[in-house]
Amino acid sequence: MEDITTFYSWKGLWYLLLVLIVIYWVLKFVSFIVKSFAKRNVTNKKVAQFFDKLLILYKPIAFVILLLDFISINYITHAMLLLILGVFGYSHIRNYISGLFFKTNPLVEIGVQITTNNIGGELNSLLPFGMILNTEDGERFLGYHTIEKHGFLINAATDTTLRQTVYLYTPFDKKDILDLLFDNPILNFDQVPTVKSTESTGILRLQYTLEKGATTEDLVAFLNAHDIETSLTFRTE
């Protein structure tokens, strides 16, 4: 009983804060290690992306845990205090929560061209309560709630590279193809290539983004060198 009482105290709150900070830096360290090996195979790349999203969500989750422990120290006084702060800070809280969903969108990354509420530009930075766009008229700040309200369109990356498709005629499975592609430097792995099955056995659909200056012919030559037949259109014969 004494341990429980100690936990719901200022001392317990301080210990909880230290534990949450340690957990955060452990996650950061693991994320760093995974990213160091991310280009070795597709599984590591997906794990690295998972940790990026986990770190985005961890901060608000840890903050909520701290708030609950803070309230437990003095239910009435602290709950009323947080309620008052919540009323005055409602717009910031709303923007922050909208930002969590926006940041975890796999299409959102620094450098893409975004249009929202008739405002378009290059995404320069993601802040806690909004984003900075480089527009024709200069830098523009947009709150995340505005983006959520009006929706947004992602046009293309700054290097104007596009997502392309090629069909593969091969007995290899999807994982083998993806692992093979990670040995090819002409692919842009910031936008992970995907391999999906088609309605025909032995025919896979590869969607990819090339590095600037690379051509589809280079990719086709690489695949053909590994006995993988390719076609830019789907055919069953």
Using CA atoms, how far apart are residues 176 and 227, in angstroms rounded to an integer? 13
Work out the average pLDDT over 208-224. 81
Buried b (16+ CB within 10 A) or exposed e, 99-134: beebbeeeebeeeebbebeebbbbbbebeebbbbbb
* pLDDT at res. 159: 44
- Does domain 163-231 fall into CATH 3.30.70? yes
- Lowest-pLDDT choice from 50-59, 66-75, 93-102, 160-169: 160-169
Please answer whether residues 228 and 168 qualify as being in contact, where contact means their C-beta atoms are separated by less than 8 angstroms. Answer: yes
Domain residue ranges in the chain: 2-88, 113-154, 163-231
Which of these, 60, 65, 73, lies nearest to 18 by C-alpha position?
A: 65
Model confidence at 43, pLDDT cuts 50, 70, 90, reads low
pLDDT tens digits, one per residue of 14-26: 888 899 889 989 8
Please answer whether residues 105 and 90 qualify as being in contact, where contact means their C-beta atoms are separated by less than 8 angstroms. Answer: no
Neighbours of 183 (CB within 10 A): 12
Residue 138: in which H helix or E strand, if any? strand 138-143
